Every structure is written in C-alpha cells, then in structure tokens.
Amino acid sequence: MTIWLDDPKKLVPLRDQAHQVAMNMLRPISRKYDAAEHEYPKELDLLAAMIDGLSESGASNGAGAAGVRRDEKEKPEAGVKNGTNLASVLGIAEMCWGDVGLLLSLPRQGLGNSAIASVASPEQQERFAGVWAAMAITEPGTGSDSANIATTAVRDGDEYVLNGEKIFVTSGERADAVVVWATLDKTQGRAAIKSFVVPKGTPGMTVERLEHKLGIKASDTATIRFEDCRVPAENLLGSADIDAGTSGQGFGGAMATFDNTRPLVAAMAVGCARAALDLTRDLLEQAGVSIDYDRPAQVQSAAAAKYVQMEADWEGSRLLMLQAAWMADNGKPNSLEASMAKAKAGRVGSDITLSCVELCGSVGYAESELLEKWSRDSKILDIFEGTQQIQQLIVARRVLGLTSAELR
C-alpha cells in the first residue's frame, strides 16, 4: 500500500484558506484579546458567519474549525476517504498558527457540538442544529476520572432534575447551551452516566465565575452550578436506558466523542508549535544563525541543532494527528491513535514553544513578539481533553489489552 504524506489535494484549498484567515484575521487581534481577558472577540462573528455560509452551501468539506460530524451509520466508501475529520485537523492547525484562544472562542464550534454529533438522535441533530454547545464534564472531585461523575440527573415526569457543579467549562458563559454529563444512578457506575443539553438561561443553571488563566485568555472558562435545574427529558442525548453503556449510546458513546476531539487538540498543538518554529527561524536567521538541512545537526551551531530536533518532533506529532483523523474518516477504531496523537502533540507543542522562547532569549521573553504568548497558550493543550498522564495510561491499556480496572 502506498503511503502519501502530502496533504490531500481536495483539502489544500481549505487548508490555505484557513491559513489566510489565521494570518489576516486572528494574528492581528491576538495580543488584544490576550490582554482583554473575558472580553468576547466580536471580530469572530463575521468569521462564524462565513463558516456557516460555507457549510450550508456544501462547499466547505469541514470548514468548521472544530465542527467534527462523523455519522457512524454512514457506509464506508470503497478505497480510502479523506473526509471531515482530516479536513478539520488541517484547518484547525492553520487557525491555531494564528491563535489558539480565538479558535476556541469561535461560535458553534464547541466541544459540545462534537458530543451532539456523536451521540444525538437524528431528531436531536435537527433540533440542535445551529446551537453553540459547550461541554461540561470535569468536577471539583473527579479530575481526569470521567467515570466518577457526581452530578446527578433524577427523572421527574417529562423532565430530569440536575444537581451538581462543573468546572473548567470552555465557552461556558458564551455558548447557547451546555452538554452536561450526569449520572442517573451513582450505584450503577459508568453505565448510568448520560449527557444532557441544557440551554443557556435555564432556571437552576448558574455561571459561578470565569477563571483567570495562564494562556488562551481569549477563551472563557467557566464554573457552572446546577441546583434543581429542570431539563426536558428529550434533551438527554442517546438512550435513557442505564444498560445502554455498551451500545454506543451511553457512557461508551459519550467517551467515543474523545476519539474525535483528541486529534483536534493535537492539531491545535501542531499549529501553535508551527507558529513558534516559523518565527524562531526568522529571528535566528536575522541573528546570523543558518539552518542547513544538508548537514548533520552535530556539525552545526547548538541553536541550529536544537531547531532541527524540534522540527523532527513536530513532524512526528503532525503525522500521528493525521493518522488518527484519517482512521476516523474511514470508520476504523482510533482510540489508541487518538490518544497517541494527543499525548505526543500536547507534550511536543509545549516543549517546542518554550524552547523557542529560550532560543530567542530576551526577544522570546518579551511581549514585543508572540513567542511568550504561544508558550503560555500551548500548555493547556497538554492538559485538557485528558492530561498527558491519562493519554499514556490509555495507550498502555490498548497496547497491553488491559481494562481500566486492570491498569490504573
């Protein structure tokens, strides 16, 4: 089988268009919204309208920056398919070359939208079309253990009553709705965990505070409390049966969302790291340091050798990202590859951006360039959607064929 490492020709226009948006729309306002934390970037409304128009016209093939839509019922095409997942990671990498926080702030491109796409029924897909959905999973007492959700959902007639607290909800204040993970019965473990679409303004749902963060300051990160919050039963995504966890409509289906979103986070790290590498190379050349790919790294300057090593690590991250997305497009189980991509890109992205700050010295540390900002932004990409340690644990389980109970 021939392996092609070039971007698919049909996706090149989308990739290039995303790069132009990143360069002409995101980069110019990057520092502005880094300084104005919690202020909504109004410039993104125009960009969101453009993306909506492309999607509605059918001319986009994944124009949504984080709008992964994988229909598991779709029959795979003959041969290979370069579809929405691959288009999304290519587009996201380019957009994050511009700014990660602004990409995360794009309307209707939230993680909750991926959850709806993965688990919702056709009727729910139609009803929630056009809704900007955040996703609320993490709780003060759960950390990275998504199966230990404490927020409860109790059936009362045609409604569910939600009680609990969620933290670190990206776009929690700005989004039109929040996809909330809650348990129907704590004694039943992960099989009883379901996700509910809770519209903004629902009585009993309160945004307690917005977090002040190290990076991605353009993106709001909220703490949300649910106190006797009543949600229509029809807003439960997938099946209400507790034993549905093995059918793809319960906890298993909700967790499968991560197989789509983790390559997207890898793409964010790949894009941010590429931005740092591009600027660092320019600054090194201005300082008289040339990088010669025709000579071994050990016979070049220390700065040039370090740069070549960083580019090699970056390329490995990019290829893992592409592999995970391609597998999703072609209906192949990609849980292992999604975690590998996220783990590699998250760590390498953080290492590269910080190393670029070091290589450029005082210029890298000062706000005269964006290098210091990229080093701050990239750190979260090694943490959210499952930390580095959690990804390594998932990879180990898949490689060794062990369950979560057997390898903790």
DSSP 3-state of 180: strand
pLDDT band per the 50, 70, 90 thresholds, residue 56: low
DSSP 38: T
Residues in CB range of 361: below 8 A, 6 or more apart: none
pLDDT band per the 50, 70, 90 thresholds, residue 73: very low
Tell me what pLDDT residue 245 has. Answer: 43
Rounded Cα distance, 35 and 376, in Å: 13
The encoded tokens of residue 129 equal 């079309």
Average pLDDT, the chain: 89
| Residue-range domain boundaries for the chain | 9-123, 132-244, 251-400
Tell me what pLDDT residue 66 has. Answer: 37
114-165 pLDDT tens trace: 888 878 889 999 999 989 999 999 999 887 677 789 999 999 999 999 999 9
Task: Reply yes or no on whether the pLDDT at 223 is more than 60.
Answer: yes
Q: What are phi and psi of 170, to 5 degrees?
A: -65, 130
Residues in CB range of 59: below 8 A, 6 or more apart: none
| CATH architecture observed for domain 132-244 | Beta Barrel (2.40)
Residues in CB range of 119: below 8 A, 6 or more apart: 195, 237, 238, 249, 253, 254, 257
* Catalytic one of 173, 285, 385, 406: 385
CATH of 9-123, one of 3.30.390.50, 1.10.540.10, 1.10.357.10, 2.60.40.10: 1.10.540.10
Tell me what pLDDT residue 64 has. Answer: 43
Task: Reply yes or no on whether the pLDDT at 43 is more than 50.
Answer: yes
Angle of helix 251-286 versus helix 302-329 axis, rounded to 10: 150
1 CB neighbour count, 10 Å cutoff: 3
The CATH number given to 251-400 is: 1.20.140.10
Give Cα separations from 254 to 118, 138, 351 (angstroms): 7, 14, 31
230-265 pLDDT tens trace: 999 999 998 888 864 444 455 666 677 788 889 999
Q: Which residue has the tokens 């790949």?
A: 270
> What residue spans of 99-192 are helical by DSSP H?
100-104, 111-119, 122-127
The arithmetic mean of pLDDT across residues 84-113, rounded, is 93
Q: Which residue has the tokens 């290589």?
A: 359
pTM for this entry: 0.91
User: Is residue 385 among the annotated active site residues?
Assistant: yes
The encoded tokens of residue 299 equal 């016979």
